Amino acid sequence: MEFPPEGKVLVVGGAKISTKLPVIKNFLDKAEKVLIGGALANNFFKARGFDVGASVVDDAAGSVSPNLTSSEDVRLVLPEDILVSTDKTGEATPESYPVKNLDPAGIIVDIGPKTAKHFGEIIKNSSMVIWNGPMGLSEVDKFAEGTKIVAKAVAGAKYSIVGGGDTISAVGRLDLLGKFSYVSTGGGAMLAFLAGSKLPGLEALGYYD
């Protein structure tokens, strides 16, 4: 990953911030853009002082400093709108809201349509994209649109790396697994590598020499 950031895009979603925050921090000077979606984004909203209602927030959310979420850092791209529902089952009809106007009783279940389009455009203009983590509760059809748009954009990128169990499941449902340049089934190892940690297997092979 030691080459200029121009054209490189990191897309991070899912929920567990403890394993993904180190990756985000490591890539802020290695990627042109870092796109944040999924429940992971809720932690950044909360750090900015936004009410996230009944949405999922990782217990480690305190590790997201307001400085990291500064709107002045154009490399870090957070959702501008989100899809909100009153339940996680898909029985209720979800609605899109600007991030600042979330109903306190609502649950964030996906990125909104404006964000999905924006993310898709950034990805399509990239020279390389790395993606780990869905954009919402993609296992529920009503909440899967953001992940679908991102998945199709990543599949059409010049060079794409995809990893993580939930991500692979999501793209598998879309029959896109064969469209990516590289698919990593070792989600934890992938995140550790992207965070800059040394992996024992690679160290034994002399990768870091």
pLDDT tens profile 66-117: 566 555 467 899 999 999 999 999 999 999 999 988 877 899 999 999 999 9
Rounded CA separation 20/6 (Å) = 22
The structure tokens 């679908």 sit at: 148
Q: 2 in a domain, yes or no?
A: no
Q: 132 in a domain, yes or no?
A: yes
Least confident of 4-13, 91-100, 162-171: 4-13
Q: 3 in a domain, yes or no?
A: no
Can you tell me the mean pLDDT for 160-172? Answer: 94
Q: 32 in a domain, yes or no?
A: yes
The more confidently predicted of residues 53 and 152 is 152
- Whole-number CA gyration radius for the chain: 16
pLDDT of residue 152: 97
Rounded CA separation 171/162 (Å) = 9
Q: 127 in a domain, yes or no?
A: yes
Q: 1 in a domain, yes or no?
A: no
- Helix (H) or strand (E) run with residue 35 in it: strand 33-36
The DSSP string of 85-146 is ES-SSS-SPPEEEEGGG--TT-EEEEE-HHHHHHHHHHHHT-SEEEEES-SS-TTSGGG-HH
Domain count, the chain: 1
Question: What's the domain range around 128?
Answer: 8-204
Q: Which two tokens stand for residue 101?
A: 């106007």
**CATH code for the domain of 90:** 3.40.50.1260
Phi/psi-derived region of residue 208, left when phi > 0, alpha when psi is between -120 and 50, beta in every other case: alpha
Q: What percent of the chain has pLDDT over 70?
A: 84
Number of Cα atoms under 13 Å in the Cβ half of residue 20: 29
pLDDT of residue 16: 83
Model pLDDT for residues 177-190, shown as the tens digit of each residue: 999 999 988 777 77
End-to-end Cα separation, the chain, in angstroms:
15
Rounded CA separation 67/114 (Å) = 25
Q: What is the pTM of this model?
A: 0.89
